[in-house]
Amino acid sequence: MTPTVTELLLARAADPSTGLLFEDRRWSWADHVQACAGHAAALTAMLRPGGHFGLLADNIPEFSFLLGGAALSGHVLVGLNPTRRGTALARDVALADCEMVFAEDRYLPLLSEAGVPVLPLSDLEPLREAVVPVAAKPEDLLMLIFTSGTSGDPKAVRCTHGKVAYPGAMLATRFGLSTQDTAYVSMPMFHSNAIMAGWSVGLASGAGIALRRRFSASGFLPDVRKFGATYANYVGKPLSYVLSTPERDDDADNPLKLVYGNEGAEADLAVFGTRFGCHVVDAFGSTEGGVNFGRDAGTPAGSLGRLLDGVAILAPETGKPCPPAEFDACGKPLNAAEAVGELVNTGGAGEFAAFVVAQGDLGPKQRPRFVRVVEALPRTATHKVLKRELAAEGVAEAWEVRYPGTRRRSQGRDR
């Protein structure tokens, strides 16, 4: 089952291992969670239940405390971009329904037109009152993250508990990270990469989260050594920027084991790994997180990488796996009609089956055998569902629900 950020935090509430590192300060996970609880109490005192608040800050400890506080209190953190100015920034605040904005002192002048109360982070006092964590579900909203706005005004993307917690847990398991590791986060935390491929990975694995206020190419390797970072995330061109720093004979003498991100230049992946003695994994995936690829130095040029576990290429007409592509001597595909299909996360119809089985008011004979997704149900003029039309359409386009201990049926798609 998909965890929530609240569950991941509470699992660390008594953990004495290092949870957060920033400059020369360190917090254990227990202290980190306690700080999140204090900020949760402060948010509860200032905002309506479930209210949204903006945060305009670099990667500082308060960002982590407020994100955890939002999870524990049921509020929604809106990550604001400090490159926005004046009316543009005020537009983002209004679009995200912020009741108030917290900001570092250096960014206060940018919020002169915010239109809502603005509180300096230096004036935000965490409360010592006991906090009863608000129950959260994976589909509950935790954060709004704005797109970069390269093709128009930035859009506020909904990031639920599940959307933040799931990739963290998945990557922590995939890469075998633990409390013995340290995740270095230098990408801006008002963007999704730092939250989903950095902060949540540390939270899910129990690794220490080492925050860098802002990314620095020249500061990358010194930080890795200072914090003992074994994992780092990136987006865009940071790999190239780090590679452009003067090379030294001892560059590979560092604790870094794995670097994970997306949009890295293909030529940089192998060079970075060799120079710094680590493994670089560059990923491609859907925004929703359901379909993902991984590529590294051994991936052929131009390839998105290999499908990860649980993802398959299925024929739309039958739901069956497509055969691998075959090529002639010139690289031309010979069986494109059969090899091209839809990318599908095949791990969902198992969670659905488990959900159905867990329902105490459904007997075995009442469990759905097939599921078909439609945009709308056929209805009469009085809005009654036309069951005969649904029955006539049959299960040819439906997915079979596979329950443990039941035999496979021959109708419908294979799921």
Residue 19: HSE in the Cβ half-sphere, 13 Å Cα cutoff: 26
How many angstroms separate the Cα of 192 from the Cα of each of 188, 189, 243, 288, 373?
9, 7, 24, 12, 29
Q: Is 205 helix (H, G, I), strand (E, B) or coil?
A: helix
Residue 261: HSE in the Cβ half-sphere, 13 Å Cα cutoff: 29
pLDDT at 150: 64
The Cα–Cα gap between 159 and 163 comes to 6
Tokens (6 digits) for 160 = 């639920």
pLDDT digits (tens, 9 = 90+) for 69-92: 999 999 999 999 999 988 999 999
For residue 415, name the pLDDT band (cuts at 50, 70, 90).
Answer: very low
Structural domains in the chain, CATH included, are 1-158 (3.40.50.12780), 310-344 (no CATH), 348-400 (no CATH)
Out of 6-10, 105-109, 313-317, 331-335, pick the least confident.
313-317
Helix (H) or strand (E) holding 92: helix 86-95
From first CA to last CA, the distance across the chain in angstroms is: 18
pLDDT digits (tens, 9 = 90+) for 118-161: 999 999 999 988 889 999 999 999 999 998 766 678 899 999 99
How many angstroms separate the Cα of 346 from the Cα of each of 312, 370, 373?
7, 15, 15
Tokens (6 digits) for 161 = 């508990």
Which residues of 244-308 form beta strands (DSSP E)?
A: 258-262, 279-285, 292-295, 306-307
Mean residue pLDDT of the chain comes to 89
The Cα–Cα gap between 188 and 39 comes to 21
For residue 356, name the pLDDT band (cuts at 50, 70, 90).
Answer: confident
Tokens (6 digits) for 49 = 């239940």
Q: Is 18 helix (H, G, I), strand (E, B) or coil?
A: strand
This prediction's pTM = 0.77
Q: Is 43 helix (H, G, I), strand (E, B) or coil?
A: helix
Q: What is the mean pLDDT of residues 366-386?
A: 85
Does residue 238 or residue 152 have the better pLDDT? 238
Percent of all residues in the chain with a pLDDT value above 90, rounded to a whole number: 62
**C-alpha closest to that of 126 among 49, 191, 38, 32:** 38
Q: What is the mean pLDDT of residues 290-308?
A: 70
